[in-house]
Structure 1
Amino acid sequence: MNRDRTVLVVGGGAAGNAVTILLRRAGIAVDLIEAKDDWNATRGSGITLQGNALRVLRELGVWKQVEASGYGFGSVGITAPDGTVLHVQDDLRTGGDDLPATVGMQRPRLQQILIDAVRASGASVRLGTTAETFDQDADGVSVRFSDGTEGRYDLVVAADGLGSATRAAIGITTEPEPTGMAIWRVATPRPAGVTRTDLAYGGPAYIAGYCPTGEDSIYAYVVEGNRDRAAIPPDTYADEMRRLTRHYGGHWPEITAHITDAARVNYTWFDRMLVEGSWHRGRVVLAGDAAHCCPPTLAQGAALSMEDALVLAELLTSSGTWDDALFQAYHERRITRVRPVVEASVQIGQWQLDGVRDADVPGLMARTMTLLRERP
């Protein structure tokens, strides 16, 4: 029966790529469209993948490539702004004891691994293409594309990110909201001795941190209050990030010396969003950042997106009937897991914005990560 079904996946990020791979494995025909011509294969600096993300990547069949391409570690250090290590905490292995607690890797490399897996799955892929209209009836969805073509599908998975046009097109009015923080990110060479994530709280920024992404690379980041993006010319990004990082000690002077190319520095506001109620309208279902997003204070954005894909694919491939009850079951399984992570991620940042000195950040993080040890 699966071989007669067709699915359109809108968006080729973590959620869209993952659900495509899993549905194709079950013999379901999948068309994937992605608005960007380059499939986002060269964008971004680094990504922190905790165990629950690695568990999904293993289900996708790409764990060995991820393991070989990234840098695994099992602890996080807390430092003073001058670089003095104050505390080292072992990370919880949220993916199980047979996987590392955390893997850092270059984001473009992870995207390329997923792209290769999508291509190998036999899915039909069209880049530089968007879905313009969705005309639904009881049996399926007729879609008109930006190139003038049309298609008919049993289901549409909207995985087109935070600013999802599909979400708006099906009448869900929820929009992302800024949390008041922003992050500067850059990829640099890895200083000798950097073997885990270290986080410095205080100084001219709320957080200054870095994560190893390979034998020779890291990505470094600085979190501050958000500023008017229009007032920060992109050609000054390196100068702006150096202005913050030069106040930090330890490995930071070496990192700062490599922040020279404005084109390699990314500046992004933190947003929060959680679609309340069902994540579907008819036969169009939201997944990943189209349904929820949170600040990266718990490094769970991509993990939650890939978990959405895993749960949705499991339900679709195990049921003979694709209906409201199935789509609601998907929402109910995900909301109880996603909501605490979104709320905790936002709360950690809000405590910093409010200057709460006695906040139980370690306790909140431990409770949330313990929840994520359970399978989604």
Structure 2
Amino acid sequence: MKREDYSRVLVAGGGIGGLAAAIALRRAGCEVDVLEIKPTWDVAGVGIIQPANALRALDALGVAEQCLAKGFGYDSYRYMTAEGRLLQDVAGPKVAGPDRPAYNGIARRALHEILVSAAREAGAVLRAGCAIHSLEQGDQEASVVLSDGRRERYAMVVGADGIYSWLRRNVFGQDLRARPTGQSVWRVMMPRPDGMTWGAMMVGARSKAGFIPISRELMYLLLVTQEDPGTVMPVQRLHVLLKERLADFGGMVPELLAAIDDPAKVVYRPLEVVMMRPPWHRGRVVLIGDAAHASTPHLGQGAAMAIEDAVVLGDLVRQGLPWNVLTDVYMQRRFERATFIQDASFRIGEFEQGREPGLDLFDLLGQARLTVAAPI
């Protein structure tokens, strides 16, 4: 089989998936340009969960140890009632290695800095304040006009431009839009209580509070609530609104409320999903991460799935597979796995909103742990 030349690759999007793809493709020998529409290589957000399958994929990119050094490793989740009564203490699979934790919590900014630095050190060219203006596809390459007026040619264009992907909309069709789930998530960073060396989820009647350690000093609190789609929260009152929604929770929550004192530190986001049918490629464009399979955060697997996409894509490019073979194998290795995680996450949200009352939550969580423990 003749090896295909993927010497020049464009990655659209400089988030977790895009930077992971840049690192993976540079390690596969490609010249890589990364476009980020924002003018600086900065990121908003609070914290992020890295389950062991994410750590395994990050290890393939050479950055797992840096993430562990900057984050906080833990091995289990304590599931509780809204009053704080323990339901189950569930250990996660240690698929990144016996000496590594089942989960790593890390500040979103710290992860971004690690990935940006690794992409640059690998030799990727990072262009902030730049995006795709137009794209024409041929049999062997794509011709791209950038927003700064330059015209470039690439053997492959990787769409890592997120849930509102320009590439998905313009290459795959206008009907593929993100749709709201009826839930929203609130996040805020605060000091980590002494002795909290585990993750926690407190399940209420129509909301769920979570606590994720992200360093020796810090954790973040998350709250998933039901909100009417289209509701705009006044940014100057986000801390007040969050505390109001936490009023029904007991356990450790009341003593944490005083730390929620600044609306600028609260990140609020309605939950949306993109359920894209296969294939995730067309012409010389291939989608990864949220551009193809944006999920809700109920399993903490969204970023992990994007990083795995990137690692698999880099592996296939390294093999020099012909484009039609590469894209077929990419779908074989990624579609079923990512779709299961997306569907399971969505079903948990439906359960929390009373729309799937018969769901066995802990059985589904167990299935998800087995799924992500399998090799990619």
User: TM-score, with normalisation over the residues of structure 2?
Assistant: 0.94
Give the corresponding residue for 2:35.
33
Deviation at 1:96, TM superposition (A): 4.4
Contact 1:2–1:28, Cα closer than 8 Å, also in 2: no
My pick for the range that moved more, 216-225 or 1-10, is 1-10
Match of 2:224 in 1: 223
Question: How far is the alpha carbon of 1:29 from its aligned partner?
Answer: 0.5
Gap regions ≥5 residues in structure 2: none
CA distance, structure 1, for counterparts of residue 276 and residue 6 of structure 2: 31
Mapped pair 1:332 → 2:344: no
Does structure 1 retain, via aligned residues, the 8 Å contact 2:6–2:317? no
Aligned partners of 2:356, 2:339: CA distance in 1, in Å? 23
The percentage of aligned residue pairs carrying the same residue is 35
Distance 1:106 1:16 in 2: 18
Q: C-alpha offsets along residues 218-240 of structure 1, whole Å, 9 cap, x if unaligned?
A: 01011111235554211111110
Residue 363 of structure 1 aligns with an amino acid whose one-letter code is: D
Residue identity matched to 2:267? N
From 15, 18, 21, the equivalent of 1:19 is 21
- Residue type of the alignment partner of 2:210: G
Query: Which residue is equivalent to 1:190?
Result: 192
Partners of 2:98 and 2:72 in 1: how far apart? Answer: 17
Q: Distance in 1 between matches of 2:16 and 2:156?
A: 19
Corresponding residue for residue 199 of structure 1: 201
Structure 1 residue aligned with 2:10: 8
* RMSD (Å), alpha carbons: 1.8
SS at 2:274 equivalent: strand
Q: Say which SS state the counterpart of residue 170 (structure 1) adopts.
A: helix
| Equivalent residue, structure 1, for 2:256 | 255
Q: 1:22 Cα deviation (Å)?
A: 1.4
Summarize the Cα distance change of 1:27–1:356 in structure 2 as closer, same or farther, 3 Å threshold.
closer
SS in 2 for 1:346: helix
Q: How many angstroms does 1:295 deviate by?
A: 0.9
- The residue that corresponds to 1:232 in the other structure is 233
Distance in 2 (CA, whole Å) between partners of 1:267 and 1:221 is: 10
* 1:251 CA drift (Å): 2.2
Residues 4, 320 of structure 2: 8 Å contact kept:
no
**Residue correspondence of structure 1 range 238-249 to structure 2 within 5 A:** 238-249=239-250
Distance of 2:227 and 2:332 partners within structure 1: 33
Match of 2:369 in 1: 369
Asked if 1:69 is matched to 2:70, the reply is yes
User: Shift in Å at residue 26 of structure 1?
Assistant: 2.5
Contact 2:28–2:315 under 8 Å retained in 1: no
Aligned-partner SS, 2:220: strand
Distance in 2, Cα, partners of 1:106 & 1:361: 28
Q: How does 1:1-376 map to 2 (within 5 A)?
A: 5-39=7-41, 41-172=42-173, 173-202=175-204, 205-321=206-322, 323-354=323-354, 359-376=359-376
- How far, CA to CA, are the matches of 1:24 and 1:6 in structure 2? 10
The gaps in structure 1 that reach 5 residues or longer are none
The one-letter code sitting in structure 2 at the alignment partner of 1:72 is G
| Partners of 2:98 and 2:256 in 1: CA distance | 32
CA distance in 2 between counterparts of 1:349 and 1:93 reads 26
TM-score, normalization by structure 1: 0.94
Q: Check the 8 A contact 2:92/2:369 in 1, yes or no.
A: no
